[in-house]
Chains A and B, each alone.
Chain A
Amino acid sequence: MATKSVWSDNRFWQRTAAWVTGFASVLLIWLTFDTSAQISMGTDADLQNGVTKRVPGPTVINYKVTYEMNKKRQHEIPVIGGMNAEGTSAFQEKENFFGRDNWSEEEAGALLHLGKLASQTKNCMNCHTLLGNGAYYAPDLTKAWLDPAWGPEGSMQAMTGKETKEEAMAEFLQNPSQYPTHARMMPNLGITAEEAKGLVAFLKHLSSIDTNGFPRNFGKIQGAVNGK
């Protein structure tokens, strides 16, 4: 019968700490690789072959993107090219983006790249939130493309007097201070027509990313699924 308790024995705690630290390290390294695989961007071939990726390829701008409630997952998911019987992306329905729905992978990639650089140069995140990063001074832009306000019956599209969502967004981005939005109006940032086009492509791609229903309350806005 031991007189010294195991609980007050140094070696017991050392071995426990070594095991937990070692195992956690292995787990975190594994998680890093698992995450990189899941957040890597898809390709045009994925979209054509109906492969669902969390981050679709740049040619997603050729497709119709909607936000639909998924009963199984209990939140809205971006649905690309219409919905199939399982309630996920069918990759069938196309949609014109600035007059055409045949943007090649290179063209779409270049446009998205321009939009990404413009979003960084103009420091969108100083006021807006993109994928959880940024500020909440101005509206969250993670799902901006899916906001019905920019749709055919939306107030934003009507305000700019444009025919399509992308043209309305591009017009607003070039002259934000001309359009009264809310109390905190967006300042004019000197965004060119080409940059605006890139930014809209960037926003459309951003909205097509499966973010597990984030931001949570987005679907509750007027006109959306389960909306007011």
Chain B
Amino acid sequence: MNAMFEPFVDVVPSFFATLSQGPMTLTIFLHTVIILPMFWIYKQEKARLEKEGN
């Protein structure tokens, strides 16, 4: 618990301070902006390939 959720301690609260809080915040952020859109792109491309009959 203690290691999983660290208090926000940076001098000035900013978006980038959130990212550098620890490995978990960074992992969640990168999955949100890279992996999730990749699922979306994957589904669109799959639908396109099916429509084209490949």
Contacts and interface: CB of A to CB of B under 8 A. Distances in A.
Interface string B11-39: 11011100000000000000001100110
Contact of B45 (A12, A34, A52): A12
Contacts of A4: 49, 54
Interface residues of B, number: 19
Contacts of B48: 11
Contacts of A85: none
A12 B41 contact: yes
A52 B11 CA distance: 8
Given A19-B37, A34-B14, A2 B54 contact: yes
A108 B48 CA distance: 67
Given A3-B54, A19-B41, A23-B33, A34 B46 contact: no
A133 B50 CA distance: 56
Secondary structure at chain B's binding surface: helix, strand, loop or mixed?
helix
A2 B41 CA distance: 16
A30 B14 CA distance: 11
Given A20-B34, A31-B16, A2 B9 contact: no
Contacts of B14: 34, 38
A16 interface: yes
A73 B12 CA distance: 12
B16 A11 contact: no
Nearest to B7: A72
A54 B49 contact: no
Nearest to A5: B49
A12 B43 CA distance: 10
A9 B38 contact: no
Nearest to B47: A2
A34 B42 contact: no
A210 B17 CA distance: 14
A190 B37 CA distance: 61
Given A3-B54, A19-B41, A9 B49 contact: yes
B45 A72 contact: no
A52 B7 CA distance: 19
A208 to B, nearest CB: 13
Nearest to A72: B9
B5 to A, nearest CB: 14
Nearest to A18: B41
Contacts of A15: 41, 45
9 contacts: A2-B54, A9-B45, A12-B41, A12-B42, A15-B41, A34-B14, A38-B12, A38-B14, A72-B9
Given A4-B49, A6-B46, A15-B41, 4 more contacts: A9-B45, A12-B42, A38-B12, A54-B12
